[in-house]
């Protein structure tokens, strides 16, 4: 395994520098930091709080063991006891293939380096597969909360299919000392009803065992993609918002969703097929305002029972501006009333400038730390 620097561990606890965040936001800084007019007031939102688990779940049907594990999640890492979450997810070895995911940083073929990146990076939890977490459970399950992803879409079937299938049982996650399970549903897909039933049953069992539940509320249907106008409504606020609402309905404690990039997905599909779904014009003029990303993300939060279930947005693919993109996403999520980011590829696919693969964990941790800095920065407030 790759060894990491104690000196960097000390640096990872330093408080954020606001000016650095502003610099990374660049031309978007004024629009994102000074937005003050969301259509849905923050007074209606259940906002992140240091005592979040008590505030959100004390009156719920979750048993005390679920509350304990939720507190493990919210009480670990640099963001501990803030009500915010920073989670490292690495299930791309299945979802995108191991070669495609780890060729750039081959050290992450070793599960121990994945777990150490989460620890070094100050994360609240590490999320990965039964295999990755199970092979090292006795060594690490007590050091950082484990979140076991229980279903996946694998790409070895030809032709490729897109269907999340179960890879193990809730009891396996419980036995390895996990604090939570995670699952994906492709809402809008032909397989979605089966996936809803499977994941709903798994979440009920998880709560019986005392595990927290996290749902990837993703959309998948070619009808959601307007190819003529090059607009992808898989990331529309109205459709992703409804996916979130379905997710909290099956008792996901935390919702993972892609950041909204547009709005009007319902309207687009209905223009092709009037029988599709239902919406209301007030969604577009009273609950959202234009295309400001914070307002669109606020609508996602509203669909998580007005924030009673925390919304974490995904970090997205790795690219040439990872730090800038990560900070922008974090600012939008925080100011919308969300609870954090779950960012994987931007962290584990980072190469050190000098090409030294042994510094891969340090490089990934820097990316995770700058995301966390946004949530620690008291100058960045909920809009």
Catalytic residue set: 256
Return the sign of the alpha-carbon dihedral for residues 182, 183, 187, 192. negative
Alpha-carbon gap, residue 91 to 181, rounded angstroms: 13
Residues 6 or more apart from 223 whose CB is under 8 A from it? 188, 269, 272, 273, 276
Angle between the N-to-C axes of helices 293-302 and 237-249, in degrees from 0 to 180, rounded to the nearest 10? 20
Instruction: Report the number of secondary-structure helices (H) and strands (E) in the chain.
Output: 19, 12
Alpha-carbon gap, residue 301 to 17, rounded angstroms: 27
Alpha-carbon gap, residue 115 to 123, rounded angstroms: 10
Alpha-carbon gap, residue 76 to 127, rounded angstroms: 14
Alpha-carbon gap, residue 44 to 275, rounded angstroms: 32
Alpha-carbon gap, residue 236 to 283, rounded angstroms: 12
- Choose among 326, 346, 328: nearest CA to 336: 328
Q: Give the three-class secondary structure for 62.
A: coil
The 10 Å Cβ neighbour count of residue 109 is: 14
CB of 380 within 8 A of CB of 33?
A: yes
- Choose among 215, 221, 213: nearest CA to 239: 221
Q: Where are the beta strands (DSSP E) in 163-273?
A: 165-166, 180-187, 212-219, 225-226, 231-232, 254-257
Angle between the N-to-C axes of helices 18-25 and 360-376, in degrees from 0 to 180, rounded to the nearest 10? 100
In which region does residue 290 sit, left (phi positive, over 0), alpha (psi from -120 to 50) or beta (all else)? left
CB of 164 within 8 A of CB of 196?
A: no
């Amino acid at each position: 395994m790759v060894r990491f620097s104690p000196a960097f561990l000390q640096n990872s606890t330093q408080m954020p520098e606001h000016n650095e965040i502003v610099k990374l936001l660049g031309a978007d800084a004024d629009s994102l930091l000074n937005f003050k007019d969301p259509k849905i007031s923050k007074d209606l939102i259940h906002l992140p709080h240091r005592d979040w688990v008590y505030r959100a779940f004390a009156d719920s049907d979750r048993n005390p063991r679920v509350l304990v594990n939720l507190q493990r999640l919210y009480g670990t890492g640099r963001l501990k006891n803030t009500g915010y979450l920073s989670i490292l997810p690495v299930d791309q070895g299945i979802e995108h293939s191991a070669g495609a995911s780890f060729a750039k940083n081959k050290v992450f073929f070793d599960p121990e380096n994945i777990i150490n990146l989460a620890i070094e990076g100050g994360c609240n939890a590490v999320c990965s597969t039964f295999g990755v977490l199970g092979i090292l459970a006795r060594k690490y399950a007590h050091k950082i909360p484990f979140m076991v992803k229980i279903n996946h879409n694998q790409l070895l079937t030809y032709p490729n299919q897109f269907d999340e299938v179960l890879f193990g049982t809730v009891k396996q996650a419980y036995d390895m000392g996990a604090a939570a399970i995670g699952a994906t549903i492709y809402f809008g897909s032909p397989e979605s009803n089966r996936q809803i039933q499977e994941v709903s049953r798994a979440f009920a069992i998880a709560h019986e065992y005392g595990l927290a539940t996290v749902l990837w509320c993703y959309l998948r249907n070619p009808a959601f993609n307007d190819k003529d106008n090059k607009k992808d409504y898989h990331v529309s606020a109205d459709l992703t918002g409804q996916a979130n609402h379905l997710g909290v309905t099956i008792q996901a404690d935390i919702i993972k969703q892609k950041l909204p990039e547009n709005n009007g997905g319902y309207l687009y599909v209905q223009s092709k097929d009037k029988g599709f779904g239902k919406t209301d014009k007030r969604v577009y003029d009273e609950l959202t305002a234009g295309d400001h990303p914070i307002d669109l993300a606020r609508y996602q939060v509203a669909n998580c029972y007005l924030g009673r279930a925390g919304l974490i947005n995904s970090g997205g693919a790795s690219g040439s501006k990872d730090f800038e993109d990560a900070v922008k996403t974090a600012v939008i999520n925080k100011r919308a009333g969300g609870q954090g980011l779950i960012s994987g590829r931007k962290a584990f696919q980072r190469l050190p400038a000098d090409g030294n693969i042994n510094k891969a964990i340090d490089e990934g941790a820097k990316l995770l730390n700058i995301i966390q800095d946004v949530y620690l920065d008291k100058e960045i407030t909920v809009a």
